[in-house]
Structure 1
Amino acid sequence: MKRKPNLLIIMSDQHRYDCTGASGDYPVRTPNIDRIAQEGTWFTNAYTPLPVCGPARGAFVCGRRPESFGAYWNDGITLPVASLTAGDYSWARALQAAGYRNGYIGKWGASASAAPTAFGYDHYLDADKVYAEFRAAKYPSFCFTGGFLGEPDPVPLDDSPTHWLAEQASRMIEQLAGEGDPWHIRVNFSEPHLPCRPAAPFAKMYDPAAVPRWRSFGETFTAKPYIQRQQLVNWGIEQFEWEDWAPIVARYYGIISQMDDAIGKILLALSRLGLEHDTIVIYTSDHGDLCGGHRMLDKHYVMYDDLVKVPLAIRWPGVIAPQQRCDAFVHHVLDLPPTILEWIGEKAPEHFHGRSLLPLLQGELPADWRTAAVSTYNGQQFGLFVQRMIRTNSWKYVWNPTDRDELYDLAGDPDELVNRVSDPECTEVLAALRKALYEELKQAGDGIVRGSWLEGQLLANRKL
């Protein structure tokens, strides 16, 4: 009987799709992520179901949209959140039952009440806690002063969070590989989430003077929801010009390249142990980051591609053909669970909200594959604010039930600067997108359309 494949999933935090070499866009060097993409499939239209860390990660654990299990925002910041509990479904348990040894390293956030060990992971390293102890013991007198905007990290690269984590991941791979059973390991980097603190040599890899201005930096907020301009005031960045942002973006680039270098060390461990051909490798991120895009910081209250579009690369030598690019819309944390279960011969539960990517990985596009991505948002530390987005190849519609809606013609305005929601020439496409969004939300059991109070906005275009 053929041995089941090992599974290595590397997930980062707030990594923009366009800040990878494989995207061919901004000049960020990511040779190791690019290698995963080149030796397998690179997805050009992968979207997060909710661009906030905890809900997106919870969705990955159970394979369902965040609102369906009460994960509306990160726990403990706005209001208590009914995130996953130990009794909820986890596909890692299905792997465990199929004979896998499971390990989890790094950022969690999927449950406020239970650790990964309650969801099918045999080993869990709380990297934030353990690394903080390691750093405090080795560098007791150092403290950061740059706040959310970041600064260089003076410690040697091997003692930085990225490379320390890579060392722990390599050790866990060696440990589980030595036990003889197939294994699954989730490695979760906290980077490039702000504040960005690259160490040498990555702290100076990118010259701020040479960092290109984001194409969306010309944002004027004309005809945009009020809350977007308010975000500048919330963060105290309303006066920032590009020369203020360029060093911040350079550090964002730098920490991405530093993380990529750490990923290279994990891939090297696989190679050293002779496991490359026996291991499926997946790289992705929970969501993106503004980092000056549309002149804003971090995330929240917007559905721009800076945030909702994510990198996704999948490699399995000898099974997935190399150098494939897939342009189909995928919901990465929803589609990966059924894909993984199909790989190991297990049936996906009916409650999943995604579908298997295997046809796409085989170069096929099913006739009934989705033609749009849907992402949602509910608010965070600066207040509650409901948003629902649907994005096709040509258009993006953002439903803001308590503010002005947004409609972007992506063919003529790919950087989402001009809101055409009030343009009479867009009436028909707007109505069609509203109806399609409603149907998707209804099917997923989204509470925002559970009653009839708001249906008129989407189905009868009763929206100013």
Structure 2
Amino acid sequence: MTRRPPAPVSGPVSGPVSGSASGPAPRAHPRPNVLLIQADQFRWDCLGAAGHPDVQTPHLDRLAADGVLYPEAFCPLPICTPSRYSLLSGLYPHQHGGWTNHCTLSPSLDTFPRALRRAGYRTAAVGKMHFTPTYLDAGYDRMVLAEQHGPGRYDDDYHRELREAGLAPVLDLLDQEEHLRPLAPASYWGDFGTGRSDLPEEWHSTTWIGERALSELAGWSAEGGGLLHVSFVKPHHPFDPPAPWDELYDPDALTVPPGWCERVPAADLPHLRGYFAYDEDALTEPVLRRVMAHYYASITQLDHHVGRLLDHLRQAGLYDDTLILFTSDHGEYLGFHHLLLKNGPMYDPLVRVPLLVKFPVGGVGGARRGERCDALVSLTDLAPTIVGACRDADSDAPWPGLDLAADAEAAAARTHVFAENRTFGPVAMARTRRHKLLVSGDQDRAGDALFDLEADPHELTNLIDRPDGARPLAELRAALTQWALFDTPVPTHLDEDAPRIDGANVPTNDAARRAEHRAWFTARVRRARRAGSEEHDEQTTAP
């Protein structure tokens, strides 16, 4: 199914195949450490443990074998920053006011990092946070950032180090910076942002984040009391794994994901506000296979670095007594309904996320190993779960979520899960295990849809006006009303001058500095494109 895996940048950290590690024996139930690992745009089913036929995730599969896999986990809003703020605060976007990728989580709201910091935990974040301001104080004492979108790219540690090394992620800049996208070559548009990274592996964001996360873990002790939030940029587009990872998967050998359609269904045409043109002449099955190959390669590269983090904990004797969580901020269509990326209706490939939780040995849930829990869960459950696992940590926040360890029975009995979005007007999702309702704020309700996921898992048949949909429609509408989505939601909160953390690596909030940094990377992209055009001209005119 795949080509030979590439060798890692540095030799893999050795460790046992499963279970507790060799190395120093852990103390008898010390204060738990917390390792939260987050990906971006990672489909819920792209795990070997979830039954995926192609993608290789051996380290995440080992984590699943040591904990609980939640295949029915959902994000509250399938956009980066709103979902991240919900994870931190335990609140839905209509409660915390983080509706867009350019917004601020109010300092008046509690977060699980703040709760742990009050309890004496050493709190750190590495990777992509997507905050405004970039180094927003959301409860982390230390932040080492690698951002991708917006002003954060020109504030973060990663791009400062890239510049010092004279490097620029050209494909990533062409994909993410609107003023540079017109410079993208035809191959970018034809392959939907798929290609080998311009950076060597050691400078790729996945490797850079993995290395700095390892450095943070090196400061943990057997006494516990550490929190590390590791947030990878990938597999978010562009789908640009570095060499040799980009050749890991053979596109022709891959299984096309369920729900792939040869063309965009008529019901989805009004929703298309895509990053690319999704007509059937552009997004063909061979093109989709190339996208899949690089998307999966980005996941397997990420999995490799997750394995390095977990093996470090095993070797240090910290694994058993660490609460470890793996999830994503949202999913990815990957051909579902002939769509890519994330702009469109809240179908399952977009709103479902992977969730693995390994509970600390000796704590509530610590005996749960290799379990698949089909409870309906939300990223809003993670804040109460993390605080509940940590001794001396508490919060008075009115969290709507559940502690997945202490409230496992309540989670199993949950009947509904919800999501929302206001990017293109108010829309909401209410979902049971069998039915899903998508509603908009439009008076004519022309965009509303009801699906029977048992009979129609690919969400192609709208039951909204059919007699057999009347009962679930009424029940789901009532559930949405009780959830109070349309009860005067909090407006978008934005404060460019909100409190930031103190740190030698935190730059001044200086627009001139940011503009100069942006201009340097823009010049590098233009130079690379000129060189690429000249090389193309030489190749096409050669005898």
TM-score scaled to structure 2, two decimals? 0.74
Shift of 1:21: 1.0
Distance 1:142 1:342 in 2: 40
Q: Deviations over 1:210-250 (max 9, x none)?
A: 2222221127655625433x335x62231322122110111
Q: Which stretch shows the higher mean deviation, 169-178 or 19-28?
A: 169-178
Equivalences for residues 314-329 of structure 1 within 5 A? 314-316=357-359, 318=361, 319-329=366-376
- Of residues 277, 284, 290, the one that matches 1:236 is 277
1:458 paired residue number = none
Partner-residue secondary structure (3-state), 1:224: helix
Structure 2 portions without partners, runs of 5+: 1-27, 148-155, 172-183, 491-543
> Aligned partners of 1:377 and 1:104: how far apart in 2?
26
Q: Using a 3 Å threshold, how does the CA distance of structure 1 residues 142 and 285 change in structure 2: closer, same or farther?
A: closer
- Residue 134 (str. 1) matches residue 175 (str. 2): no
1:368 and 1:275 map into 2 onto residues whose CA distance is 30
Deviation at 1:317? 5.3
Which residue identity does 1:58 align to in structure 2? Y
What's the Cα RMSD here?
Answer: 2.4
User: Where in structure 2 are the equivalents of 1:270-349 lying within 5 Å?
Assistant: 270-316=313-359, 318=361, 319-332=366-379, 334-345=380-391, 346-349=393-396
Relative to structure 1, the CA distance from residue 400 to residue 169 in structure 2 (aligned partners, 3 Å threshold; closer, same or farther) is: same
Is 2:79 aligned against 1:52?
yes
Q: Please give the secondary structure, in 2, of the residue aligned with 1:397.
A: strand
Is the CA contact (8 Å cut-off) linking 1:154 and 1:200 kept in structure 2? no
Partner Cα separation in structure 1 for residue 338 and residue 265 of structure 2 = 13
Please tell me whether the aligned partners of residues 38 and 326 of structure 2 are also in contact (alpha carbons under 8 angstroms). yes
Instruction: State the secondary structure of the residue aligned to 1:276.
Output: coil
1:115 partnered with 2:121: no
Q: CA deviation at 1:275?
A: 1.3
Q: Contact 1:22–1:34 at 8 Å: present in 2 too?
A: yes
Distance 1:5 1:141, change over 3 A: closer
How much has 1:155 moved relative to structure 2?
4.1
Aligned to 1:68: 95
Work out whether residues 427 and 439 of structure 2, in 8 Å CA contact, stay in contact via their aligned partners in 1: yes
Give 1:352's aligned amino acid: W
- Counting strand residues as a fraction of each chain, which structure ranks higher? 1
Structure 1 residue 119: deviation in Å? 2.2
Give the drift of 1:389: 0.5
Q: Secondary structure at the match of 1:251?
A: helix
Matches within 5 A, 1:148-297: 149-153=193-197, 155-177=199-221, 182-218=225-261, 222=265, 224-228=267-271, 230-231=272-273, 235-238=276-279, 239=281, 240-297=283-340
Structure 2 partner of 1:462 = none
Query: Matched residues in 2 for 1:142 and 1:188: separation?
Result: 19
Partners of 1:302 and 1:141 in 2: how far apart? 34
Instruction: Name structure 1 gaps, 5 residues minimum.
Output: 76-80, 449-464
Mean alpha-carbon deviation: is it higher for 299-308 or for 143-152? 143-152
Which moves more between the two structures, 185-194 or 418-427? 418-427
Matched, 1:386 2:432: no
SS state of the match for residue 10, structure 1?
Answer: strand
Aligned twin of 1:353: 400
Amino acid at match of 2:240: R
Q: What's the CA shift string for 1:434-458, capped at 9, x where partnerless?
A: 111211135x95639xxxxxxxxxx
Cα distance between partner residues in 2 of 1:142 and 1:427: 52
From 81, 92, 96, the counterpart of 2:117: 96
**SS of residue matched to 2:429:** strand
Q: What TM-score do you get using the length of structure 1 for normalisation?
A: 0.86
User: Residue 396 of structure 2 aligns to which amino acid in structure 1?
Assistant: P
Q: Partner of 2:426: helix, strand, or coil? A: strand
Alpha carbons of structure 1 residues 436 and 316: separation in structure 2 relative to 1, 3 Å? closer
**Count of residues in correspondence between the two structures:** 428
Please state how far the C-alpha of 1:349 moved relative to its aligned partner. Answer: 2.4
Equivalent residues of 1:149, 1:195 under 8 A apart: yes
> Higher mean Cα deviation, 398-407 or 312-321?
312-321
Range with bigger deviation, 60-69 or 36-45: 60-69
Larger Cα-atom Rg: 2
Please tell me whether the aligned partners of residues 217 and 294 of structure 1 are also in contact (alpha carbons under 8 angstroms). Answer: yes
- The answer as to whether partners of 2:96 and 2:109 remain within 8 angstroms in 1 is no
- Cα 1:39–1:2 shift into 2, 3 Å: closer
Contact 1:18–1:24 at 8 Å: present in 2 too? yes
| Conserved 8 A contact 1:231-1:296 | no
Q: 1:106 maps to what in 2?
A: 127
